[in-house]
Structure 1
């Protein structure tokens, strides 16, 4: 792989997670919004997911850590969902 190819791969597939972390991010954002929970609850949800993965499937823990559930990220996803819903 060329130097440019390596740099591009960082942006195309960060941390090797593919699209799954983004899909999970949207699903959790939707659940938080539907249940009128605080956006900061998402970080608690991530802690629960990572802890569960450590017990149930330790070989996949990094996949769970790659899911971005920061408060700002969840707020953006909820806005995206609302905008798409209103179209």
Structure 2
């Protein structure tokens, strides 16, 4: 059974344990690309390493269509749900 984007986004918030930083960055980047499209914000400064990591992850998705990012997000969310449980 494939989840909808909205269902996947809700279930990700309810994971029993926290995914790795790389997994979190990937799911964040796909979510932003699916909901907003290409990153057009300015890069956070050096004093914001978490913001920079999130910005870089999202920026790496540039050129991915919102529909494709939506599908990739659902696939990634299903992997995390299977791995970490809800």
Same fold (TM over 0.5): no
Larger Rg: 1
**TM score, norm. by length of structure 2:** 0.36
**TM score, norm. by length of structure 1:** 0.35
> Of Structure 1 and Structure 2, which has the larger fraction of its residues in helix?
1
Q: Of the two structures, which has the highest relative contact order with CA contacts closer than 8 Å and spacing of 6 or more?
A: 2
